[in-house]
Structure 1
């Protein structure tokens, strides 16, 4: 066990805090405008920044029950999940201490406060030869947010989502207690881990995640051996992934959502595995666990709406497809190149202008391949343009009633906000519902309550747990009100 007793680092997280006196110190609040990463549907909220468990409990107990409380990390959910119009929003980013790393355990584990970012976690773990098991498309996500959204990465078909690797969660519930939850349940209560699994993917509606212990993996290097293939159209892409994905730990495709005709859906498929020491060049072997994270600065707030138009979208798509090799095997790539190229530039979402954008991500079962193609064609032929497009294959889901992944095809597009986009998304919703699929809540900003209920057949399981642990609905959010949660 390696502890971190350095200045400002706590030495542990209690399983349950004792009941606290009614008179609580007031936590400073600021009335601020909050929005998600898509920069749409902003609302005004009383933001309370806390830097201790006691402060979090005090803020909760001093909140206005009429509008409730929602936890917030780094604000990387795309819609309205981490904002609370007229109520309190708990800023948990100062709860950012890494408490311990147990590199000797099998599996190795790390215990952290919820505000620790995946970026900070990776930088801490790599010198131990340890690796975060699941990474979404950005490192700028807190551990609490990764749990609440049950994020997935390029390796869902082999490793599952983030919640699959969580050993325990420290959850501040509406009664002011901090409970330590495990997949098997709390001692003497919560049989079967119902509250644990409702919290995984629960979008902060069962309580505020304050800390967690996560199982991590071992790695010899911070590099990846990557194979790249260009695919001529959507059918070629889906066939190639179906035939070969199981041979790789990681797999993801960028596809062209602009080109029509016989090359509709042409794509660049990248698949790989963690590189071993033997895979590295002599130069890279000198520092095999080096975390390469270049930064090209911050996108300024100067872009107008309609920066993504026919001309720019076609130019980008042509460049991105042609720059990739037709076939390449065993290229060594660092963490940023393989996982997080968009993290190179901060605030890249500003490119879409003040109107913002919507990220639409859906999944349908493998048996619904024709529905998947139809949804894909609806997007390409709609006239709405997207440059950042991702296609992946999911493996089995987990017991969380609101977790997004299920075995099947998942597609993600970034669509600028403009007239007619709601019509396209509503039509896509109906295709997804008809196929037994769903839309990802962490990306959503416009789904209706009826469509949401049709997509998540275990919603009542989640609601029963939520009502048990928070009968007055103290934890709330703009998303929860929109979806009638």
Structure 2
């Protein structure tokens, strides 16, 4: 097992802190790392795609799980895979797709580990149909503070605290996941351009079973009646009969998504207000008014952020903050107010995505809740940004909504209890399971989780 001292940040490159990093190659070495933690505790870390400080532990230890990356078995009859927590969703897709299976829930990047997907209880564009990642975990092996490895099953308190628990109940070592059967490596995609937020919401609300995946890229720089204009994409896994006859012999071959060209490689929000507005306008105008039945690779449709994998390295002082919130089905007025506030300030928001959530999962700190969710990024050095986001936090909390903790880097702790009503249960279970506070992170200290 390698050990070194490193400076770490989240994907947004904000608030760097220094920690002792362990990189175990076996479960036994992971146990040694937990038992050898210092007084500042330890937290597991995957590929570093959490935007905020959930996988940092300043002055303490982190366990880099990426060397624990074995795919142990695939059961085609049961439709399950058993794998280490350090396996990435990208590698799972490469392995499973040629066998006729896919991961049923995946975020906009596949460069996340299975352990990270469980700890954040990630969601995708098909949440209203398939829920979040934790719904498809059949069991997991959890290394707890006493150095023991426990098998954790759905329906137990420990499972509900671990899924979405941001690594604070222990280290996920492996998991058994349920899979989705697929006939091809393609998606059937419909695209439509909308003129404003009301039309965007209506198109997303009209999605049915035929298109379980649905999301909208939203232009948060357009003023007036154009505020909230968007490009809505809806999709489904392509059946064999949707493919041209000449393509049906290579239906399940995995290929990475196509890399964008030109301005698409530059995150709009890192370019300033004027350029961001111009780029957003160009992107909206170039989108088709309506296009039905386009075939796209699974990786292109499901993982658009992987087309430019290191865009967060574009120089920008202070990095960027990713903000995502959810409000209930009756929270459309809150969405309108937030969008108006951002457009009036001409905020250079980038990667703004609006989706509709279905039923919540069992995770006590899981983010998805029935209703609407909007996410966007802003340069961390934007003047007045802390005050703006504080006001958004208060508005979201007052509407009965919540902010995504896995992406957070600056939420005030007094709002967390209002947003997450099972927080008291989470704290109580942690107190019983980990009375000495073995598992800690910068986010946990900041929010008193």
**Fold match, TM over 0.5?**
yes
Could you tell me which of 104, 115, 119 is aligned with 1:133? 104
Q: How far, CA to CA, are the matches of 1:257 and 1:306 in structure 2? A: 11
Local SS of the residue matching 1:366: coil
Relative to structure 2, which stretch is displaced further, 234-243 or 87-96? 234-243
1:59-458 residue pairs with structure 2 within 5 A?
A: 59-64=33-38, 66-105=39-78, 108-184=79-155, 193-294=156-257, 307-351=270-314, 353-418=316-381, 419-458=383-422
Q: How far, CA to CA, are the matches of 1:181 and 1:206 in structure 2? A: 11
Instruction: For residue 305 of structure 1, report the CA deviation from its aligned partner.
Output: 12
Local SS of the residue matching 2:299: helix
Local SS of the residue matching 1:388: strand
TM-score, length of structure 2 as denominator length: 0.96
Instruction: For residue 346 of structure 1, report the CA deviation from its aligned partner.
Output: 2.2
Deviations 1:283-320 (A, max 9, x none): 332211121215759x9xxx999842123202221121
Gaps in structure 1 of 5+ consecutive residues? 1-26, 185-192
Contact residue 130 and residue 216 of structure 1 kept, 8 A: yes
* Matching residue of 2:11: 37
Local SS of the residue matching 1:121: helix
* Matching residue of 1:51: 25
Contact residue 220 and residue 228 of structure 2 kept, 8 A: yes
Instruction: For residue 344 of structure 1, report the CA deviation from its aligned partner.
Output: 1.7
Compute the RMSD of aligned alpha carbons.
1.8
Q: How far, CA to CA, are the matches of 1:231 and 1:294 in structure 2? A: 25
Contact residue 306 and residue 352 of structure 1 kept, 8 A: no
Gaps in structure 2 of 5+ consecutive residues? none
Q: How far, CA to CA, are the matches of 2:57 and 2:338 in structure 1? A: 32
Deviations 1:222-251 (A, max 9, x none): 101111111110011111222234542100
Contact residue 384 and residue 421 of structure 1 kept, 8 A: no
Local SS of the residue matching 1:325: coil
Q: How far, CA to CA, are the matches of 2:298 and 2:283 in structure 1? A: 19
Contact residue 389 and residue 412 of structure 1 kept, 8 A: yes
1:463 aligns with 2:427: yes
Instruction: Tell me the number of residue pairs that the alignment of Structure 1 and Structure 2 aligns.
Output: 445
Q: Against the structure 1 CA distance between its residues 197 and 304, is the aligned structure 2 distance closer, same or farther, given a 3 Å change threshold?
A: closer
Q: How far, CA to CA, are the matches of 1:155 and 1:474 in structure 2? A: 35
Q: How far, CA to CA, are the matches of 1:480 and 1:320 in structure 2? A: 38
Aligned structure 1 segments of 4 or more residues deviating by more than 6 angstroms: 303-306
